[in-house]
Structures are given as C-alpha cells and as structure tokens.
Structure 1
C-alpha cells in the first residue's frame, strides 16, 4: 500500500504539491490523473525518494522509501522509458539492478520473457525504440517481484499489441493482490484498466473515487430517442415526469431516465421510434468537465488568439 499524508512540495514561493493525502490500496489498478502542471510527476518522485517533501510524507508499506532495505523487492517503478545506460545491453542493465538488490539471475531471464525482450536481450539498450525502452523499464520495475508497481505513461511508444499486453499485465498484477498505481494521459486506456482514481489539480486532491462514480458524477447521461412523432413522445415523457431536451440533430434527450422505462412508455403509447439508446460520457469527457477550473495552462480559443494578435500589433 502507498499512503501519502499531507504531502507538500514547494520550490521557492511556488507550491507544486499542497497537503496531498490519499491511499493506494492493493488488489486494484488505481489511476493517477491531473492536468499538465498538476503535480503528478513531483508526487511520484516523492514516492520514490527522488524528491524530498517540504512537509508531510509518503509511506510505502508503512515505511518511507529511503528506509527500504531492498527497494526493488517492495516497489517497482517506471518513470522514464529511457532511464538506462545506452551502452549496456538489456540483459546487462537488468543484471546490474538485480545484483544491487540481491535478486537472482534467474529472475532476469523471467522478466525478459515476460516483457517480450528475449530476442533483443543482448542488444544495446541505446538502440531501442521508445516502445522497446518502455518494455525494458517495465522489466526493471518487475525485477524484484514487488508487491507495489508504479507506472508513469506505460503505453508510450507501444504498438496496439503492446498496449493490450500492458493493459492485461496491470489487471493481472492487481488480481494477484498487488498495488498498481498508474499515471497516463490516455483516458481511454485508464477507463479500460483502472478501477479507482486519484485526481489532483494544482497540487491538491480533487477526487478519490471509483471510475464509475467519477464518470456518473461528472457527466450528463441521457436516453437518446429518434422518432417521427417527437411531439407525442415529448408529451408522454413530460407526463411521466421525465425531463426532455432536444439535441442538435433534433433527437430527444430524456435526462435521468432508464432505457427500459422509456421502452415501456413507448409501448404503452404506441409511438413509432427509430432509435432508443443510452448515452453517457467517457472518462475523458468527465475528466475535462471536472478539472476545467484546475487547468494551469489553457490554450486560447481561435477568436481570442486573433484578437490578442491584433491588439499586440496595434490594429
């Protein structure tokens, strides 16, 4: 388990992480989300003892990272897909890490096989693509067979087969009872992998909840209805106490209703319909809506940008 308590990091007058507290529990994949500049990377570096907190602490299985005798056996991490000596072979890189943590050489062979690097084990890591470098980083993270796995953007550079592989790997690790903490900008992947979310903005905790609850709380779900009898349909819905909106394409949107109830209503009134479908937001849409006020760097709309240019040019 990872436990952050009032975690704070300041650089001069700038507070990057602000009294952040949360727990990452075993047996599930926990996604770590936040806009650019939210403090995610700094938080993860403090978890691994790479950055010292200004205040607060992070405990890894009840102890600060610095007090772990053989850290790779407790927590494995991928923060940078290119964090290896380019002149070493993949096997040599892993052997070096194994020897420093008293991990048997047989484990090196195991993780090379697990990550699909057997055929390139004796090639220099500096020649690897971003995706292959990521696989090597994951092999290093798994080397000590740790109970906690921390991954930052693990699908970077991977082909579709590699993305499916890492997705299943994270699920399998969680199913074994391990703590899996993953940060990614690919919301579609987290939606398929994570069960729980930690969301931060401007260094502060914004949400600590399940993926399902997060989407439900930050999106507008409705039942879409296309019918050649929109007025009859609207009247039937309104009479039943269902709030009805009209979509951009003229379809009706029954807000807060279940598709099954809408179907029964249609049948009872004998209304002709061409479509009845449940519409809900994706994790990405819910995230954008939820963090709209916490984005530090926001692009200008085209019109605003054009106006600024005219003003700066003296137009």
Structure 2
C-alpha cells in the first residue's frame, strides 16, 4: 500500500504537486492519469525518495522509502527505462541490483526469462531498442518479487504483443494481492488495464474513484434508436416520461433510458427498430471532459482546408506558404 498525505512539491514559484492525499491499495491495478505537466512523474519520484517533498508525507507500507533496508524487496519501480549503465550487460545490470538488495542470483535469470530477454542477457543495453529497454526496466522492477509495483508509461516502445503481455502481467500481479500503480497517457490501454483511477491536474487531485464510476460521472450515457417510424417512437417515449432528441443522422437519443425497457416499449407498440444500442463515453472522453481546465500545454490544428506539403510549410486555402508558428528559430534556419 502507498499512502500520500498532503504531498506538496514546489520548485521556486512553481507548484508541481499541490496537497495530494490518496491511498493506492492492494488487489487492483490503479491508474494514475493527468495531462502533461500535471505532476505525475514528480509524485512517483517522491514515493521513491528521489525528490524531497516541500510539505506532506508519503509512505510505503507505513515506512518512508529511505527506511526500507532492501527496497527492491518491498517496491519495484520503472520510471526511466534508459536509466541503466550502458557498459554492463543486461544480466550484470540486474545482478548488481540483486546483490545490493540481498536477492539471490538465480532470480536474475528468472526475470530475464519472464520479460523475454533471455537471448540478449549478455548484451549491453546501450544497443537495445526502446521496447527492449522497457522490458529490462520491468525486469528490474520485478527482481525482488515485491508486494508493490509502480510503473511510469510502461508500454512505451512495446509492440502489440508486448503491450498485451505487460497488461496481462499487471492484472495478474494485482490478482495475487499486490499493489500495482501505473501511469500512462494511453487511455484505450488504461481502460483495459486499470480498475481504479487517480486523476490529477496542475498538481491537484481531481478524482479518486473506480473506472466505471469515473466514466459515469464525467460523460454522457444514452440510448441510440434508429427506426423508420421516428414520430411514433418519439410519442411512445414521451408517454413514458422520456425526452428523446434527434441526432444529426436522424436517430433518436435518450439520456437516462434503459435499452431493454425501450425495446419492450417498441415491441408493445409494434414499432420496427433498426438500431437500439446503449452508448457510453470512452475513458478518453471522460478524461478530456474532467481535465479540460487543467491542461497546461495546448496544440492547435491548422484551419480546415489547409494543405501541408512536404517540408512542413502550411498553405491556407487560396494562399501562399507560410512558416509554422514554431518560433523565431525557424526563420533563422535553426530548430527549437
């Protein structure tokens, strides 16, 4: 279990983490979400004692990280996959970690097998791809067979098989009763992996709730109906106290309705239905709605109809090429 109480971190006038209080509990995968600059990585660094809080406290099973005698046996973490000694082989990198934490050498081979790196165990990580580096970082997190695991963007660089593997692994670890805390920007992947969510924005806690409740509270859920008899269907819905609205394609949409009940209503009135489907927003849509006011960095799409030829100069409809707004360095031929 990881416990944060009023955790705060300031860098000069900048408050990166602002009074965070929540508990990451065992037995489930807890997703840690937030826009860029929200303070997720800073929070994870404070959990591991890499950054000192300005105020507040964070404990791992009741202790500060610095109080753990052999920390890899209590908590395993992946924050930066490339944070390894490039001159050591993958095996020796893990062996050094094992020896410093009282972990038997046989465990090194076990975790290399587990993450699929057995065949490159004697190669140096500086030649690894991003995905292989991620696997080595995950092996390091698993090395002490810890009760708590913490991953920051664990699917970076992984191929589809690797993404499926790490998702399955995290869920398996949680089912064993371990605490699994994972940060990711991939909403579709998080929706398949996490059961509980902690969402922050501009360093503040925005939500600490189950996945299903988060989506329900931050999105619109409705029933979509397509029928060749929309007026009859509308009248039947109004008679039941429901207020349908007409979508752009002519379908009816009913907020707060039950699809099964609407189907029974249509059958009783002998109304033909071409579609009857419950509609629920995705995790991404719910996340975007909740964090809309907390996004620090905004991108801007070009105007509709703008052509972007090779080389990147935007051409407005009927206009001439103009340089993208990437700063004065573009005009000087440099890069930002």
**TM-score normalized by structure 1?**
0.95
3-state secondary structure, aligned to 2:21: strand
Within 2, Cα distance between the matches of 1:216 and 1:11? 36
CA distance, structure 2, for counterparts of residue 32 and residue 41 of structure 1? 10
Is the 8 Å Cα contact of residues 243 and 256 (structure 1) preserved in structure 2? Answer: no
Runs of 4+ in structure 1 displaced over 6 angstroms? none
Q: Does 1:219 align with 2:219?
A: yes
Give the 3 Å change call, closer, same or farther, for CA 34–234 of structure 1 in structure 2: same
Judging by fraction of residues, say which structure has more helix. 1
Instruction: Give 1:187-266 correspondences, 5 Å limit.
Output: 187-266=187-266
In structure 2, list runs of 5 or more residues that go unmatched.
305-315, 317-323, 326-336
Q: Secondary structure at the match of 1:235?
A: helix
What CA distance in whole angstroms lies between the structure 2 residues aligned with 1:182 and 1:43?
12
What displacement does 1:243 show?
2.0
SS in 2 for 1:266: helix
Whose relative contact order is higher, 1 or 2, with alpha carbons under 8 Å and at least 6 apart? 1
Deviations 1:217-266 (A, max 9, x none): 11111111111111111111111111211112111111111110010010
Gaps of 5+ in 1: 311-315
Q: Tell me the residue number matched to 2:39.
A: 39
C-alpha separation between the residues in 2 aligned to 1:234 and 1:83? 61
**1:283 maps to which residue?**
283
Q: How far apart are the structure 1 equivalents of 2:190 and 2:162?
A: 15
1:108 aligns with 2:128: no
Q: Which residue of 2 aligns with 1:313?
A: none
CA distance in 2 between partners of 1:12 and 1:270 (Å): 69
Separation (CA, whole Å) in 1 of partners of 2:290 and 2:249: 26
RMSD: 1.7
